[in-house]
Amino acid sequence: MSGEPMRFVLPDKYYNILWGMVAAGVLALGAGFFLATDRAWLTLLATGYFVLSIALIGVLFAAIQFVAGAKWSVVLRRVPETFAAVLPLAAVLIGIVALGAAFHLNHVYEWADAKIVAADEVLQHKKGYLNIPFFLARLVIYFSAWIFLAWLIRKTSLEQDENRDAATKSRLVKYSAIFTVVYAYSWLFSSVDIVMSLQPHWFTTMFPVYTFANGWFGTIAAITILVVTIKRNGGLKDVNEEHLHDLGKWQFMSVVFWAYIAYSMHMLTWYANLPEETYLLELRLKGIWKFFTIALWLLHFVLPFFILLSRDIKRDQNRLVKVAWAVLFVAFLDIVWLVHGSALGHTGNEHLVNSFPVGPMEIGAFFGAVGTGGIIFFRAFAEYNEAPVGDVDYETSRHFHQPL
């Protein structure tokens, strides 16, 4: 019944699975650092950026619901709100890689190596921005802003469970609007800093939009997986097939949006006759990487597009969650494509075009990220009501029905 405290506790068997995934991730990365150190650093960075994309854009999804005054999503909104709890994990993973670059423990960022910079005129011109102290300072600013604003939104939403007034909803709209603006500008710079600068000679203004499109693609999948998992175990009883149908439509939109942005990024390079921007794709269409690139396009757009055309699939939680798991893994593969592909352009790494970028280490890292993030999420989720029962639009959301 609306208004009653509703807390969801994940059954122990699921925690055992999640801990097993964490162990797989630790073992895979641990072995990787012994057997293929350079690749392990790239995998750690890809994993950290994957976690960041899902956690941060999850909070953005909740913020957009507040700003837009969306009523359909109220009953499930506590799920993306709780993604805020996972942001520190992303900060730790990316921070380890950044500190590793600062102390010359890895060669992920070429611009962090003084010898390479001294012999490269282009990097010398960019060192005012691409230098370790300024890079670390920017990371601290990004994560501090993200974590604080995400915490503020979640804290205020939880207060609404007790206050049950429109004034608290107004504050949530204000905080969400601030978060959305901060996100837009900080994501632009952070995607350039963390990922695009891996290939410091290459650039495109489309890159932040591309990484956002992939992050949105994976985030909708993560929300769907969590909502269905909670429902299967007795929670979120007010979420019905109408809400799932809307999540399915959001997922379908994300597939088309990613395809549009991915195509536009390369089409604009051709249309504007910018040969210096062909570098990204040129590297990834050599050797065995060519097959990985083509497979990624098929998995990212063609297959999910035709599968999600079905209305029945979008309304069936059992089939929809299977699609969501596949989509989440593809979102991770896209980040691997970006991060691992950057090493192809580093001096002496020409042979890597014949080394397939996805192996036991990357798969293990994906499981590790999902397991660790899942444990953090469900522990945070269990502390408070599973749904924002104090929201003035909660009853409307409970009875949400699609006209068609």
Which residue stretches of 164-240 are H helix? Answer: 166-194, 207-232
Residue 386, CA atoms < 13 Å, CB-side half-sphere = 22
Which residue stretches of 233-359 are H helix? Answer: 241-271, 279-283, 289-297, 303-307, 311-315, 317-342
pLDDT tens by residue, 292-348: 999 999 999 999 999 999 999 999 999 999 999 999 999 999 999 999 998 887 766
d(CA 129, CA 75): 44
pLDDT tens by residue, 91-144: 999 999 999 999 999 999 999 999 999 999 999 999 999 999 999 999 999 999
Structure tokens at 175: 């905080």
Residues in Cβ contact with 153 at an 8 Å cutoff, skipping those fewer than 6 apart: 59, 62, 63, 66, 81, 84, 172, 175, 176, 179
**At which residue do the structure tokens 């924002």 appear?**
388
Provide, rounded to the nearest whole percent, the portion of the chain with pLDDT above 70.
98
For the whole model, what pTM was predicted?
A: 0.96
